[in-house]
Amino acid sequence: MKFADFQQITRSKSADDAIDSFADLESQSLGLLEPLLPPRKGVRLLGISLSSLSRRRRRDAANSHWCSDEYDAAIERAEAKLSAAGSHSGRCPRPCAPVRGFRYATSGAIILITMPDASFLVPSEQEAIMDGMIYGANGYTGELIAREAKKRGTVPVLAGRDAAKIAELAKDLSLPSKVFSLDAPTDVAAALASVGLVLNCAGPFSKTADVLMQACLAVKVHYLDITGEIGVLEEAHRFDTDAKTAGVVLCPGVGFDVTPTDCIALMLKTALPEAQELALGFESDHRMSAGTAKTLVEALGKSGKIRRGGRIVDLPLGRGCREVDFGRGPKRAMPIPWGDIASAFYTTGIPNITVFTPISSPRLAIARLMNAFGFILQSPRVQTWLVDRIEKTVKGPDVAMRDASPTWVWGEAKDSSGRSEEIRIVSLNGYSLTVFSSLAIVERLIANGFPPGCWTPAAIMGKDFILSLPGTSKLELPRPIA
């Protein structure tokens, strides 16, 4: 039994004698389950597995309901039901034939049939539909996600371009792996043929997302990533019609970029349906990973972005500052070109969107200088030098650093009459939050599916999804005394 907070309890029992009646099997199973009922908290997954099964070779009507012929018929009936679920209800991550002996997700539950004594029921590696692929698994965030996925008992394929690092991680976690670059689209599509879903963790996503999205559309595989890049999010939504035709889900931004702010945006839209202005932002002291740093380097020297009248427009860095209390007291905050400029519009339809983060006076002065000298930072030679320095010197935060640096997230909506709503939450470090949010969305799609098309995290999971994740809660500021 796996609970909503991902705590897992496993109970097992070995029978003294062979069991060959359904009534005995039901009694043994309920005996394991009864001490856990009623559950103390929400249940995410419930499963029962059987092992050491063997066929009866003669019919013994007086003592058995599970003779050879009846057993074969039961297997065929189960396969027929699973095939129907996969082909017609949209609950399988991609159309697929039923696979004997392999875990299959349907209606939010797990059906697991294990038959060590019957090798003919065990699928080959080519037949098995794995629990998705993590591309960029050898990167800082990708590895965090891969380790948590393994801890949950799933079997993702670990993939990326660095053969040595992927092989080392796959060996450490005892997980399948694939190594392929994104240079040849046909090779990428072939590499995705045995999975139902791809979670792209390889940034900068401006260099990886388009190729992977098009390959996923070609082979009818769901695509998710952890980007916060406006251009990538906009590009994904341009594939909306193609995704619907292919019958797959595209959902970029399933990590810290942009899940918490996306959920807050939907909360505010629900509270103030006629909102015309949306401001979002976050404050955190965490150290960044090499992948995040390289993504920021790409943006150096470029203009800021905001959305006005439904369109994304430039805003010179350092302009439009205001005071914001993210949860630790009022601070000067600067507009930044964050992913919500794209995603929050598709989630809420609000036409005017700005994203803020706190900024000190020295950093504000530097940001304003970039407006004049940004062309230097954008030169290929400078970009190459900066990326090389990052790869040699930048390492992501360790566990202690992540645990010591929570994130404060804020949102404000206003309508044309002057009414406004504010929401604040406090959550985990951005990297830790990315692990939980991305895997929760992956599990949702594998277990229950979702209508095809391009979606935002809040559109799939709902506005309160962020509050269901570990370490996240609403933050109520004390009201001033009149």
Taken in order 79, 85, 86, 88, is the CA torsion positive or negative?
positive
Close Cβ partners of 117 (under 8 Å, ≥ 6 residues apart): 52, 53, 54
In the chain, the N- to C-terminal Cα span, in Å, equals 51
pLDDT in tens, 315-325: 998 899 999 99
Check: CB of residue 450 under 8 Å from CB of residue 460.
Answer: yes
Close Cβ partners of 13 (under 8 Å, ≥ 6 residues apart): 28, 31, 32
Q: Give mean pLDDT, residues 56-66.
A: 44
Question: Which of the pair, 73 or 446, is modelled with greater confidence?
Answer: 446
* Structural domain includes residue 284: yes
pLDDT value at residue 45? 67
pLDDT at 417 over 70: yes
| Domain region containing 374 | 259-429+469-474
pLDDT at 263 over 80: yes
Question: Which of the pair, 171 or 385, is modelled with greater confidence?
Answer: 171
Q: Give mean pLDDT, residues 427-445.
A: 95
pLDDT at 184 over 70: yes
- Encode 271-298: b = buried (16+ Cβ within 10 Å), e = exposed: ebeebebbbbbbbbebbbbbbbbbbebb
| H or E element that contains 438 | helix 430-448
pLDDT at 92 over 60: no
Question: Which of the pair, 420 or 67, is modelled with greater confidence?
Answer: 420
Confidence of residue 479 (pLDDT cuts 50, 70, 90): low
Confidence of residue 400 (pLDDT cuts 50, 70, 90): confident
Identify the weakest region by mean pLDDT among 56-65, 93-102, 197-206, 281-290.
93-102
Identify the weakest region by mean pLDDT among 121-130, 284-293, 335-344.
121-130
* Structural domain includes residue 211: no
pLDDT at 185 over 50: yes
pLDDT at 94 over 90: no
* Structural domain includes residue 5: no
Confidence of residue 476 (pLDDT cuts 50, 70, 90): confident
Specify the CATH number for the domain of residue 398: 3.30.360.10
Other CB atoms within a 10 A radius of the CB of residue 103 amount to 18
pLDDT in tens, 6-18: 556 666 777 767 7
pLDDT at 254 over 80: yes
Rounded CA-CA distance 163/169 in Å is: 10
Identify the weakest region by mean pLDDT among 51-60, 181-190, 281-290, 459-468.
51-60
Longest dimension (CA), the chain: 90
Q: Tokens for 303, please give them.
A: 């203009």
Q: Give mean pLDDT, residues 173-188.
A: 93
> How many separate domains does the chain show?
1
Q: What are phi and psi of 159, to 5 degrees?
A: -140, 160
pLDDT in tens, 264-289: 999 999 999 999 999 999 998 866 66
pLDDT value at residue 64? 43
Strand partners, 422: 412
* Structural domain includes residue 380: yes
pTM score: 0.71
* Structural domain includes residue 436: no
* Structural domain includes residue 263: yes
* Structural domain includes residue 268: yes
For 332-384, what is the HEC assignment?
EEEECCCCHHHHHHHHHCCCEEEEEEECCHHHHHHHHHHHHHHHHHCCHHHHH
Rounded CA-CA distance 201/161 in Å is: 12
* Structural domain includes residue 365: yes
pLDDT value at residue 171? 96
pLDDT value at residue 366? 77
pLDDT value at residue 180? 96
* Averaged pLDDT score across all residues of the chain: 80
pLDDT value at residue 181? 94
Q: Give mean pLDDT, residues 453-467.
A: 97
For residue 337, which of 324, 353, 325 has the smallest C-alpha distance?
Answer: 353
Rounded CA-CA distance 308/341 in Å is: 10
Q: What are phi and psi of 175, to 5 degrees?
A: -125, 155
pLDDT value at residue 309? 97
Any idea of the CA torsion for 374, 380, 385, 390, to the nearest 10 degrees? 80
pLDDT at 110 over 70: no
Identify the weakest region by mean pLDDT among 95-109, 154-168, 399-413.
95-109
Identify the weakest region by mean pLDDT among 55-64, 164-173, 445-454.
55-64
pLDDT value at residue 445? 92
Q: Give mean pLDDT, residues 434-445.
A: 95
Confidence of residue 107 (pLDDT cuts 50, 70, 90): very low
pLDDT at 108 over 50: no
Q: Tokens for 417, please give them.
A: 């009459």
pLDDT at 297 over 50: yes
Q: Can you spell out the DSSP letters for 240-289?
A: HHHHHHHT-EEE---BTTBHHHHHHHHHHHHHSTTEEEEEEEEEE-PPPP
Question: Which of the pair, 40 or 27, is modelled with greater confidence?
Answer: 27
Confidence of residue 369 (pLDDT cuts 50, 70, 90): confident
pLDDT value at residue 111? 35
% of the chain at pLDDT higher than 90: 53
pLDDT value at residue 293? 64
Q: Hey, which of 82-96, 183-197, 269-283, 385-399 has the most confident mean pLDDT?
A: 269-283
Close Cβ partners of 401 (under 8 Å, ≥ 6 residues apart): 286, 287, 429
Identify the weakest region by mean pLDDT among 32-46, 150-164, 337-351.
32-46
> What residue spans of 103-238 are helical by DSSP H?
140-151, 163-173, 185-191, 209-219, 230-238
